[in-house]
Amino acid sequence: MSEFVSWRDYWIFASDVIQKRRFLRTDRGEAFLAAVTESSKKRVNLMPAGTELWRAQRGCNYAPDSDSGTERPVPFPAERMKPLADRAQEGRVNPKGIACLYLANGPDTAISETRAGIGERVSLANFRTKADSRLVDCIHQQEEPLYLDEPDSASKERAVWSYMNRAFSSPVGRAEDRADYAPTQVLAEVFKGLGFDGIIYRSAFGTDGYNLALFDLDSADPVGRWVYRVDDVAYKVSIDR
């Protein structure tokens, strides 16, 4: 049975993929992916058909308002609320050109993920899944432990998955940082090859929210759409000692 060598295995793998080589992996990298494959069997989340999920995009359309003689904001059309299959931008889970459907478990999380500023309008849609989905679950490992010495095998595994969850959750802002997507894209390719339908991971915006990336764009469809305006953005902070 494949096991992780170190609690730092994800970061070693990520460094190799970003700085050295993505497609021709080292023996250590292959061993890491074998351990991920083995341990993913214990992290299966079965999501039933009909599950309600959410997706938001910055902006909206405008339509004439006969009562006021002006224009009123309306949400993007249903087809606009899904990524374009032939023009997909890269993300944490997908490389450029291969689209996947990013969703959230609630409207607040979906809107937060857009990082819209105060005064901006956001189109929000709720989606329903069409079929049962088999997802790899990263959300239950959040403690991100640090060790001076190598812990036991179970602790190594928990640590690696917690840092994988963090990697999927962390937003990348600037275009020049997009190379940081590569490690999680490789993991997503592995999960897809294992027959998973998608990935669940924590949102970086709030403690209760989580995101899903579904590999098949047609696995869920929008059933309702609205326009929201961002009135406030609140941060809760504490001194980091």
Task: Give the chain's count of helices (H) and strands (E).
Answer: 5, 10
Give the pLDDT of residue 37: 97
Q: Is residue 63 assigned to a domain?
A: yes
Q: CA 74 to CA 64: how far, in whole Å?
A: 10
Q: Is residue 142 assigned to a domain?
A: yes
**pLDDT tens-digit profile of 83-109?**
887 777 888 999 888 899 999 999 999
- The tokens for 148 are 């001076």
Q: Is residue 152 assigned to a domain?
A: yes
Enumerate residues 6+ apart whose C-beta is below 8 A from 56: 104, 107, 110, 111, 113, 114, 122, 123, 124, 125, 228
Task: Say whether pLDDT at 234 is over 90.
Answer: no
Task: Say whether pLDDT at 241 is over 90.
Answer: no
Q: Is residue 129 assigned to a domain?
A: yes
Output phi, psi for 216, to 5 deg.
-100, 120
Give the helix, strand, coil percentages of the chain, each rounded to 5.
Answer: 30, 25, 45
Give the pLDDT of residue 236: 67
Give the pLDDT of residue 209: 87
Enumerate residues 6+ apart whose C-beta is below 8 A from 11: 163
The number of domains in the chain is 1
Task: Say whether pLDDT at 115 is over 70.
Answer: yes
Q: Is residue 66 assigned to a domain?
A: yes
Give the pLDDT of residue 205: 80
Average pLDDT over residues 117-132: 96
Domain of residue 73 covers: 9-229
Closest alpha carbon to 159 in 28, 4, 38: 4
Q: Is residue 200 assigned to a domain?
A: yes
Give the pLDDT of residue 42: 93
Q: Is residue 31 assigned to a domain?
A: yes
Task: Say whether pLDDT at 136 is over 90.
Answer: yes
H/E segment holding residue 225: strand 220-229
Average pLDDT over residues 107-125: 93
130 and 219 Cβ atoms separated by less than 8 Å: yes
Q: Is residue 3 assigned to a domain?
A: no
Give the pLDDT of residue 235: 64
Output phi, psi for 166, to 5 deg.
-60, -40
Higher pLDDT, 175 or 222: 222
Task: Say whether pLDDT at 164 is over 90.
Answer: yes
For the chain, percent of residues with pLDDT exceeding 70? 90
Enumerate residues 6+ apart whose C-beta is below 8 A from 152: none
Higher pLDDT, 232 or 22: 232
Task: Say whether pLDDT at 184 is over 90.
Answer: yes
Output phi, psi for 99, to 5 deg.
-80, 150
Mean pLDDT of all residues in the chain? Answer: 89
Q: CA 57 to CA 72: how far, in whole Å?
A: 18
Task: Say whether pLDDT at 141 is over 70.
Answer: no
